[in-house]
Chains A and B, each alone.
Chain A
Amino acid sequence: MKGTALSARLGAIITMAALLVTACTGSTTAPSGSPSAGAASSTPKLGGTLVFGTSQETTHCDYTTLVVIGGGALLCPDYNQEALVKYDFKTNTVVPSLATTWEEKPDSLTFHLRSGVKFQDGTPFNADAVVFNFRRAFDKTFPANQGLTIPYQIYVPAYKSVTKVDDMTVRVDVTPAPNTLRSFSTPATYIESPTAVQAGGKDYQFNPVGTGPYKVVSFESNVRFELTRYDGYWGQKPAPDRIVVLRKVDLAALANDLLSGNIDAMVAPTPQQVDQLKAAGFQVQFFPTLQINYLALNVTKPPFDDAKVRQAANFAFDKEALVQVMKGAGAPVYAAWFPDAYGYNGDVEQYKFDANKAKQLLDQAGWTLPAGGKVRMKGGQELSVKLVMRQGQAGGQGAQPTVATSNLQDVGFKVDLQVLDTAAYNSTTSGVFSPTCCNLANAGHASTFPDPIDWLGRWTTASIPPGERNFAFWSNPTYDKLVNDARVELDPTKRLQLLKDAQKVLRDEAPIIFTGREQLSTAWNSSKIQALPLTTAFSRVDPWSIVMK
């Protein structure tokens, strides 16, 4: 025992000494170049190699197989393949991509395809290719669909079938629903070379062929992949000629790589690394995301089977304190959606930090503080809750369990905070997918589009695990009806009202503590790179947004 303690201490001392050494010498090893970020120069420079480091998984390069949807900043398929249309998050409109024009009817979409486009293997892009890809993604009877599990289908809920009209026109039949056009910008609809898909078999996912601006040179799962410019690309060329993505689990190793010049940029350094990198002259910038972090309150068992206790927990959580812990990264969220976004209901009362109100509500619910005690009691039971988080949860999502523990203890809860590894956390028998797991589940979710529907859909009865991720196991028929009606309501005014009414129910029933909007950062060597922003949706590096020096 003594030996372990000693060795641990020695290790800590050595590490600290090393950190000190780095901190002291950081300024002398700073890369040259002025720290000017964001502002893109008037004429974008083409050329150069970008070496990018990430700690998130890079499993394969084909969206039709299972990959991480939310994670990963520089995702291979986005550089290799394209959809028929693109969603422009600056203007919130759908813009052309592989389709140049389209006609929208309630029950069908007709796409006119871009002519002269060739896949990276030289085969032509045409209606046959679109039909092949859509059937591969959505049609269970299609040979190329066999053996695939395609989670991204869920983002194209209205799809029914596809028909070739002529060589450069396809018609997609859909069930009438709002916003169907934009769903044809999502990953399940990416178009890939039918020839390459059929020839590649099970290894195609490491060797994909799309129409996008980059070809895949090599792909080693979770270690490294390399992209090179596709000279035959039909559209505007992104800046780098070559992109290498290194994946390392350890963020400290990535920060070292950046400091030592082994890589040019990384995503999501820790707050400590942000300070260290800035001190050494590297550029670090934060970008807003569409991710809301939350704690789901398990309503199937005491104490959160009582709405008053859930409301109390909501008032007890100090969202400003969380932002402080995160050194200003992130923004508080007081209700079920972003205050500045479409569909937000500003009329419902928000859960702002109010410990006294929380205490009153707990008193009303019958949980009272015994004289001289710190933990509330009711009928001889302690107000004791188990909070579960996942190892590796980072950013505000990673920091909030500590804040919640301290806040809940302040108003009379006893909190048992447990950190599980990913598999145990996701277990359907003992993790957050099971009602027996815990009282609070720590999680976060990024919305696909700046529209509350995906997000509100999370808390419907149909989303209760194992079907989906309603970790509160909360079920409310009124709420279900509002959300389901909003999914198919074509009249924008009526739809908006449904979305707002749903938020009111969510607020009153309080099955979730909404904590904050995540912000993510990229850090880069400013002597090589001028700008490396993340997109608001999914927090990705858009190929065309990279500005090299």
Chain B
Amino acid sequence: MKAGYLVRRTAASVGILFGVSLLVFAAVRLVPGDPVSLMLGKADQANAKLVADFRKSYGLDDPLPVQYAAWLSHIAGGDFGRSLDTGERVGDILGRRLSATLVLASLGAVLALSVGILWGVAGAYLSGPLGGVLRSAPLVLLSVPSFAFGIALGFVFAVWLRLLPASGMVSPVDGGGPLDVLRHSVLPAVTLAILPASLTARITAGTLDELRHEDFVRTVLAAGIPMRRIALRHVLPNALLPVITNSGVLIGSMFTSAVFVEAVFGWPGVGTMMVNAVEGRDYPTVQAGAFIVASVFVIVNWTVDALYSLVDPRIKA
């Protein structure tokens, strides 16, 4: 086992998370406008006494280091506090929102990777106009922002053809079954998957192209092994290395792309939660959301590193 490597990676991950927590805490407080004046402004009231009461009750009067320490110690105990905006437990909101985003992101990731790899392989090995189209399509698709796909797909399949719901995760009335969620997730998951699938297809096709001309391929070809077998047994596993590396970034980026896609499809996930929370200067929610998303990134990358160390013999303890 490459235990030393993993230990080093784990230590680095913890350090990164600590840095993230500090950055997030500082960043939300650097943005102009504070939550109390915002809330009271929304409430159409700005009574000086109310402002003071409110600050005190949420501990916003304490010095920043004290607030930071309090926040860290609460997180350590699994308590993310209450939303300044709605008064709900941030942990409850996160649980709900995170599971919604995970449903979307995992469907998107499965779609992106499976379609992307198949597409890349087909693009690399098919000749003629179809191969050409498959090879150049990713470039075109990569230049279109995902929300544009979202809006277009929404209009065609929801508003015009009325085949699928335009937005939301469940039907407004009596929704919530697995089939209902699946129906609602088709458009956002496809939208979310288009860009990473294109990227995966491009990387797969590109790497396959390079590998096809490598010496070891020529050698096995000379040994009389059929092309299809070479492609599947020798070329593809090697081609998957960059795909695996990228998939870490790709799955992480699912969360960031989800901000746009969730907004377009009204998906009640972490993305829309973060947008609302930043606008509302809802410190506890922004901090918790950013911290959790960063943790997902770190965990996914750690997993990829671990996988990599298994696949790539060059990595040693």
Contact of B54 among A149, A249, A261, A422 (CB under 8 A): A149
Contact of B143 among A7, A71, A262, A427 (CB under 8 A): A7
Instruction: List chain A residues, Cβ under 8 A from B165.
Output: 260, 262
- 26 residue pairs of the A-B complex, CB under 8 angstroms, read A7-B144, A10-B148, A12-B148, A14-B148, A29-B162, A68-B43, A70-B44, A149-B50, A151-B43, A151-B44, A151-B50, A205-B87, A206-B88, A248-B167, A253-B166, A253-B265, A256-B154, A257-B166, A257-B167, A260-B165, A262-B167, A423-B38, A424-B32, A429-B32, A465-B46, A467-B47
Residues A151 and B40 in contact in the complex (CB < 8 Å), given A250-B266, A467-B48: yes
Q: Is the CB of B155 within 8 A of A22?
A: yes
Q: How many residues of A contact B (CB 8 A)?
A: 74
Q: How far does the Cβ of A28 sit from chain B's closest Cβ, in whole Å? A: 10
The reply on A490 being an interface residue by CB < 8 A is no
Q: Is the CB of B38 within 8 A of A221?
A: no
Which of A18, A68, A220, A242 has the most chain B CB atoms inside 10 A of its CB? A18
Interface residues of A in 243-273 (CB under 8 A from B): 244, 246, 248-250, 252-253, 256-257, 259-263
Q: Is the CB of A18 within 8 A of B48?
A: no
Q: Is the CB of A426 within 8 A of B38?
A: yes
Q: Is the CB of B96 within 8 A of A18?
A: no
Q: How far does the Cβ of A318 sit from chain B's closest Cβ, in whole Å? A: 28
Among the 9-residue stretches A59-67, A371-379, A518-526, the one with 4 or more Cβ atoms under 8 Å from chain B is: A59-67
Interface string of A437-476 (1 = CB under 8 A from B): 0000000010000000000000000000111110000000
Q: Is the CB of B41 within 8 A of A422?
A: yes
Q: Is the CB of A423 within 8 A of B272?
A: no
Closest to B152 in A: A14
Instruction: List chain B residues, Cβ under 8 A from A22.
Output: 155, 159-160
Q: Is the CB of B168 within 8 A of A246?
A: yes
Instruction: List chain B residues, Cβ under 8 A from A151.
Output: 40, 43-45, 47, 50
Interface string of A1-45 (1 = CB under 8 A from B): 001001110111011011101100100010000000000000000
Q: Is the CB of B172 within 8 A of A69?
A: no
The reply on B246 being an interface residue by CB < 8 A is no
Q: How far does the Cβ of B55 sit from chain A's closest Cβ, in whole Å? A: 10
Closest 6 CB pairs of A and B: A423-B33, A11-B148, A426-B41, A18-B155, A221-B86, A256-B166
Closest to B140 in A: A10
Q: A220–B168 Cα gap in the complex (Å)?
A: 14
The reply on B151 being an interface residue by CB < 8 A is yes
Q: Is the CB of B48 within 8 A of A66?
A: no
Closest to B51 in A: A466
Instruction: List chain A residues, Cβ under 8 A from B82.
Output: 202
Instruction: List chain B residues, Cβ under 8 A from A203.
Output: 88
The reply on B179 being an interface residue by CB < 8 A is no
The reply on A97 being an interface residue by CB < 8 A is no
Q: Is the CB of A223 within 8 A of B268?
A: yes
Contact of B44 among A7, A206, A445 (CB under 8 A): A445
The reply on A222 being an interface residue by CB < 8 A is yes
The reply on B264 being an interface residue by CB < 8 A is yes
Interface string of B120-164 (1 = CB under 8 A from A): 000000000000000000000001110111011011101110100
Extra contacts besides A253-B264, A256-B167, A428-B34 (7): CB < 8 Å: A12-B148, A59-B86, A60-B87, A66-B43, A68-B44, A221-B88, A222-B276
Instruction: List chain A residues, Cβ under 8 A from B96.
Output: 220
The reply on B13 being an interface residue by CB < 8 A is no
